[in-house]
Structure formats: structure tokens, C-alpha cells
Amino acid sequence: MKIAISVSDKEKTKGSESPYYKALLAVGVKPEEVEVVSPSHPSIPNIKGYDGVLFTGGKDINPKYYEEAVKYPGLFQIDAKRDAFEFELFDRAHRHRLPILGICRGIQMINVKFGGTLYQDLNSEAPVEREHMQSAPRPEPTHVVTLTDPESRLAETFKGSCRVNSLHRQAIKRLGRGLKVTAHSEDGLVEAVESADAYPFLIAVQWHPEEMVDQPEPRKLFEKFVAKCRELAAQPR
């Protein structure tokens, strides 16, 4: 089995210190079963060498991809190379029906890839009532997300609701075609999406479970993802 973790070039320098890398190892993945990939790769990785892809947090998606201009230049941070790299990597992973897990920027990228849009700045554009860029330590849960689809894969991970951390300034505005919402925050923001069709495994969440992997629900999310990756790896291809 081999899982690709897609990160920025800067995040890649952390190597085994990356919280995403540590989260996979915490649920039984061996170091040799993980490869951290980033835009500095000379080309998009050969997707046939992987059994799953984890798309991680990071800078804002360029709004040109959802046909908007940058509304808040002072707030925006864009990594153009990463945008292009991850859109192509997602295309290849999705086409080959690999298990996909998206976290924070990951859920936003996936939604835009499916034709959706984002709130460019929650405090300016959305009727939020909670602090979504928490001042508390990253592993500390600060608000509740509620399951909205009892038949979803996320329902296998937690029942009804759970407390999560919150470290984002943007969020899904219009849902992309081909996705379904599976969890909301107390103030109505989309907190989780999944594929609306019979895709093997595509879950993306707005919070950061890699920072909370010592807790049952976040840990189970990674366990489910890894189990699907191992299942694919065991199949003849």
C-alpha cells in the first residue's frame, strides 16, 4: 500500500514532523507506506503507484477557479503552483477511483473542482455566529458539527454530532455538483461533504482531525480511510 499526502512545498520540508504524516502513522500506517508530494515534484506523480490520496490544509484557492476576482487582497494567500498541481492530482485520483480524504483546504479544493464556490472571507460574507479561526490551541475542540445524512460514510465515524477544532477563514458557499453535504456547524456552514454517487471513498471535512487523532472520532476517520486504501491495494490492478 502507498498513500500520497499532498502538501505545499513549505509543508513538505517538515517531512515526518507533519501532523498529517503523524496521524497516518498513529493508525498503523508504516513510514514506507506514505509519500509526501508537493508542487516541487518535476511532474504530477504516477497515480497508479498510489492506493489513496490525502489533500491537506494550506493557502486559499485562487478564486479564478470559481469565476470570481479576489475580493480581499489583504487577506488572500494564493499558491498558484499548488492549485494547478492538486487539481491535476485530484483528477487522476478520482478517475482511477482511489480513496480520497480532504482536510480544510482539501474540502474547499474538492468543492471548487466539482464546480462549487467559496466564501472568500467568512466574517465579511457569511452569517457566522461561531469563531471559525479559533484562538485556542489547534488540538482543542471549540464547536459542534452535526451529521445531516445518517446514510453517509461519515455516519460510520460518529453518531449524530461531535466536537471539532476550527481553523479556517473560508468555507463552502455553493455546493459543487456531484457532492452531498454530510455535516453542518451550529451556524449552518458546510463542515463535511462526500461523493453523491457510489464512489468507493471520498470524504472531505472542514476541521483538522489530524490535530485530534488521539480522540475517538478523528482517529476513526483516518482508520476508515486507511482501511479503504488497504482494500484497494489488495485488489489486482
SS (H, E, C) 128-189: CCCCCECCCCCCCCCEEEEECCCCCCHHHCCCCEEEECCECCCEECCCCCCEEEEEEECCCC
Q: In the structure, what pLDDT confidence band is assigned to residue 221 with cuts at 50, 70 and 90?
A: very high
Q: Catalytic amino acids?
A: 104, 208, 210
* Beta-bridge partners for 163: 144
pLDDT tens per residue, range 107-154: 999 999 999 999 999 888 877 767 788 888 999 998 999 999 988 999
pLDDT tens per residue, range 53-112: 999 999 999 999 999 999 998 888 999 999 999 999 999 999 999 999 999 999 999 999
Cα separation of 172 and 9, whole Å? 25
Give residue 169's Cα distance to chain centre. Answer: 15
**CB contact at 8 A, 128 and 164:** no
The candidate with the shortest Cα–Cα distance to 120, out of 168, 55, 72, is 72
Cα separation of 23 and 235, whole Å? 25
User: What is the set of domains in the chain, with CATH numbers?
Assistant: 3-233 (3.40.50.880)
